[in-house]
Amino acid sequence: MLTLLDQLDKGTLWRSPGGIHPPEVKFLSNATPIGQLPLASTYLVPVPQVGENCTLAVKVGDSVLKGTPLTQGTSIWHLPVHAPTSGTIVAIEPRASNHASALPVNTCVIAADGKDTWCELVQNQLDDLSHQQIVDKVRSAGIAGMGGAAFPTHIKLNPVSEIDLVIINGVECEPYISADDRLMREYSQDILAGIGIIHRLLTPKRIVIAIEDNKPEAAKAMQAAVSQCGLPAGSIRVTVIPTKYPSGGEKQLIQIITGREVPSGAIPAKLGIVVHNVGTAYAINQAVTQGKPLVERVVTVTGRNVGKPGNYWLPIGTPVDHVLTATEFTPEPDQKVIIGGPMMGHALANIQVPILKGTNCILVPSSQEIGSTPEEKACIRCGECATACPALLLPQQLFWHAKAEEYDKAASYNLKDCIECGCCSYVCPSDIPLVEYYRIAKSALKQAADEKQQAERAKQRFDARLARLEEEKLAREAKAKEASERRQASMTGTDKNAVAEAMARIAAKKAAAQAVTGESITEESSVTTTDTTEVPKGKAAVAAAIARAKAKKAAQANADGTDTNGAETDSAKTDNAVNVDANDSISATDTIAQEAPLSQKDKVAAASARAKAKKAAQQTDTAPLESTETADNTPALSADDDKKAKVAAAVARAKAKKAAQQAETAASDIEVSNTEISVSDVNDAEAIKKAKVAAAVARAKAKKAAQQAETNAENGLNQTTTPAVDSAANVHADVNADAETAVNAAATDIEVSNADVSVNDAEAIKKAKVAAAVARAKAKKIAAASAESKTDAEIESVDEIQTEANVASPSIAATLDTATTEADAVLPSVGSTAEPIETAPLSSDELKKARIAATIAKAKAKKAALAQEANASSDSSVTND
């Protein structure tokens, strides 16, 4: 069996799939030698042209020579660009690109000086250069693939795998283009010199120069050059292949020469094969031996609308419009200017764009050569595109997915293997621009891949940052630990004890904070201390019991995980309610109801309290009328009148005594109930709220009773013309009775409202009793004050009247003293539990009226006592007689 090398030596060829035979039309440009065009006034050099981003090596205003590097970079993919002629950098700005999109790219604008002066060139002998030096020179010269792909040449010259076969591509299958044809005819020796450099770098077993059979002159020229080169005999040969488009494609040419197919996604180097263009070989020789960078190339200018078609040496960066003007371009309406051939080229939207390293043709066809773009029609599923595809793809499927923007599915059909040759579009009967759809899909996939790569890089940077922060954290912790160990090692016994004591205090403080709510216990203690200042020992014991109960409740609430703030707040509000002045009106009830929404039960209790208060007010309103009628109808004193006066005095004394006993009972009840307070009592917010309402009602009723007493005193003053002592006694008794009735009614209301409170509501009961005791004490004190006041302008002093009363009737004086003493005794018992209560000061008129009423009452009592003694004396004298 013949090996591949044997088959190559015999000139065996293989057929490639697909392909078409379009009109070549090469005769327009291949008949004349390569020419020169006049220099342009301005050159546009895009940066970068090939590879990744780079750094500008020049700035605006710099003078440059031909061949001066304009960019620099360190990436292996970077290729520098050079000044195409001598001149000055006049601008570095975005200009339209040599692309179908015409998107702006950063461009160096060079104003040519017309001298076209080269920079200093270093010529070298090939034998004096090492392998790496040759590769570096190729790279520094900025050489890229001249066939149109513009792949960096220095990468192909330094492969990672062993190369068995090098193919020099001179096929040039694209219609209209003849640049490589003329280059092989005129510069075959230079091309062979470049092939020799490639052979030295790659040391392949065979080198094949492939040329289509439609270029016989080029094939002869290259065959003559091969016979004269110094390469080993049999290592290099010229192979002529059949003309078919696109046989000049890299993968298609490999398949024709070797019969091997490059796998999808792979490069020829994996098969041990490298392909270079004849123009690339020429540029390699110029760079290595002459030191010239790639600043110009051969470009075919052709088409029937060009007056001087042919091939020209054009500097890189020459504006297209300058080339067309120099070749006598005659435009037509809707004229197309195509960069590249008619099959793979693209039309320019702007002719103010430069020639690039991969530009091999400027095509200006007439309307007869290339008509207007036909209207796209529906696909008829004929399958001609699949038959013509040289890459054995499924163009129809690629078209459907690309049109639907399903780019991932298009990629699954090996879209990246499409070489955009245009065979499918050429044979499509529906005139569908299939290649345009494929290009759009490729651009979208490339953009998605770039975004994914950027996201991956960002993720790597983020992960690196997290790792760095973690390392810094560990380093700080290690440093702190070392510092702590050094401090502990240097500490003495005293220092260690101090640290231990501090830690113990911190632990104790933390435990105390967890056991008891911090500020609650402190506030309760301060309140207890204030309340128990200068009070009897019994009251201090009650206050201490309250404090202990509250502390016990706070500890239990903390242990159970409950919040004690609400209960403490309610307790504090209850204490404040007890300490409110008794002169507050019944509107306090509404205020309390607004602060805390009442339940149905609370609303019923509040309504009952208001009804009872209204009833008590009506009773006190009728009392003055009855007193007035009694005073008006009182006749002269008689034995019956004297008896009635005595009865009234006895009733007053009994009521005063009863009020004192009730006050003492209330105080004792408070003491007893305070000792039985439980933790659950404080938590009963419902009972506390009811107690507040009852206390407010009691205070309002007591205030109204006091006001009624003053009104009765004024009524008594208006009856000064009536001398009846029993009427005065009745007025005084009625006043006391009214006050006592109001107090008793308030107490009754409190007891009724407290009946709804549970037995455990000791705190609420205590507050209600305190409020009732305060109300009774105030009423008693007001009655006593009205009885003891006087008016100096109308009658003698109270002290004189009291002395006379003591002389006349010791029993009456004793009764008054007893009532006053008992009324005053009520206040200390109540004040020990609650805050001292100050009676609201009376106005001057009210005080005057009260004094007059009291004086009149005392005078009448004195007169009644004298009359009683006189009657007693007369009775005794009669008896003696």
- Residue 827: per-residue pLDDT: 38
Judged by average pLDDT, the poorest of 72-76, 121-125, 561-565 is 561-565
- The CA-based dihedral angle spanning residues 297, 301, 302, 305, taken in that order and rounded to the nearest 10 degrees: 170
Name the strands in the sheet holding 273-277, side by side, starting at the edge strand that comes first in the sequence: 236-241, 206-212, 165-170, 273-277
Q: Is there a contact between 746 and 697 (Cβ–Cβ < 8 Å)?
A: yes
Given a cut of 70, whether residue 843 has pLDDT beyond it is no
- Residue 494: per-residue pLDDT: 77
Burial (Cβ within 10 Å: 0-12, 13-18, ≥19) of residue 393: buried
Task: Give the best-scoring range by mean pLDDT among 331-345, 803-817, 826-840.
Answer: 331-345
Given a cut of 70, whether residue 42 has pLDDT beyond it is yes
pLDDT tier at 763 (50, 70, 90 boundaries)?
low
Q: Which residues does 418 contact at the CB level (< 8 Å), separation at least 6? A: 391, 393, 398, 438, 442
Q: Which residues pair with 165 in a beta bridge?
A: 206, 273
- Residue 732: per-residue pLDDT: 42
Q: Is 277 helix (H, G, I), strand (E, B) or coil?
A: strand
Mean of the per-residue pLDDT values of the chain: 75
pLDDT tier at 65 (50, 70, 90 boundaries)?
very high
- Residue length of the chain: 881
Averaged over 867-873, what is the pLDDT?
Answer: 64
Model pLDDT for residues 779-799, shown as the tens digit of each residue: 666 656 555 544 443 434 434
pLDDT tier at 396 (50, 70, 90 boundaries)?
very high
Q: Is there a contact between 212 and 243 (Cβ–Cβ < 8 Å)?
A: yes
Averaged over 366-393, what is the pLDDT?
Answer: 91
- Residue 201: per-residue pLDDT: 93
Q: Which residue has the higher pLDDT, 313 or 767?
A: 313
Averaged over 813-831, what is the pLDDT?
Answer: 42
Place of tokens 């049109």: 403
pLDDT tier at 881 (50, 70, 90 boundaries)?
very low
- Residue 738: per-residue pLDDT: 47
Q: Which residues pair with 111 in a beta bridge?
A: 42, 88
Given a cut of 50, whether residue 163 has pLDDT beyond it is yes
Percent of the chain clearing pLDDT 90 (strictly above): 45
**Confidence (pTM):** 0.57
Phi, psi of 107 (to 5 degrees): -135, 135
Burial (Cβ within 10 Å: 0-12, 13-18, ≥19) of residue 810: exposed
Model pLDDT for residues 214-268, shown as the tens digit of each residue: 999 999 999 999 988 878 878 899 999 999 999 999 999 999 999 999 998 889 9
Averaged over 537-546, what is the pLDDT?
Answer: 59
- Residue 541: per-residue pLDDT: 57
Given a cut of 60, whether residue 714 has pLDDT beyond it is no
Task: Give the best-scoring range by mean pLDDT among 189-198, 518-527, 544-553.
Answer: 189-198
Strands 236-241 vs 296-302: parallel, antiparallel or unpaired: unpaired
pLDDT tier at 768 (50, 70, 90 boundaries)?
low
Q: Which residue has the higher pLDDT, 772 or 493?
A: 493
Judged by average pLDDT, the poorest of 35-44, 151-160, 317-326, 766-775 is 766-775
CA atoms 158, 159, 165, 166: torsion sign? negative
Judged by average pLDDT, the poorest of 8-12, 62-66, 605-609, 819-823 is 819-823
C-alpha 727 chain-centroid distance: 86
Given a cut of 50, whether residue 591 has pLDDT beyond it is no
- Residue 22: per-residue pLDDT: 93
Judged by average pLDDT, the poorest of 121-130, 350-359, 408-417, 570-579 is 570-579
- Residue 861: per-residue pLDDT: 72
d(CA 568, CA 344): 91
pLDDT tier at 491 (50, 70, 90 boundaries)?
confident
Task: Give the best-scoring range by mean pLDDT among 305-319, 684-698, 747-761, 804-818.
Answer: 305-319
Given a cut of 60, whether residue 117 has pLDDT beyond it is yes
Spell out a b/e string for 370-388, using b for 16 or more CB atoms within 10 Å of the CB, else e.
Answer: eeeeeeeeebeeeebbbeb
Q: Which residue has the higher pLDDT, 651 or 34?
A: 34
pLDDT tier at 295 (50, 70, 90 boundaries)?
very high
pLDDT tier at 281 (50, 70, 90 boundaries)?
very high
pLDDT tier at 123 (50, 70, 90 boundaries)?
confident
Model pLDDT for residues 656-674, shown as the tens digit of each residue: 676 666 655 554 444 444 4
Q: Is 302 helix (H, G, I), strand (E, B) or coil?
A: strand
- Residue 229: per-residue pLDDT: 82
Q: Is there a contact between 763 and 688 (Cβ–Cβ < 8 Å)?
A: yes
Percent of the chain clearing pLDDT 70 (strictly above): 61
Q: Which residues pair with 298 in a beta bridge?
A: 313
- Give Dmax over CA atoms of the chain in angstroms: 193
Given a cut of 60, whether residue 322 has pLDDT beyond it is yes
Q: Is there a contact between 98 and 339 (Cβ–Cβ < 8 Å)?
A: yes
Place of tokens 């008693």: 780
d(CA 600, CA 204): 107
Residue type, 219: A
Mapping DSSP onto H, E and C, the string for 327-379 reads CCECCCCCCCCEECCCCCCEECCCCCCECCCCCCEEECCCCCCCCCCCCCCCC
Judged by average pLDDT, the poorest of 304-318, 429-443, 548-562 is 548-562
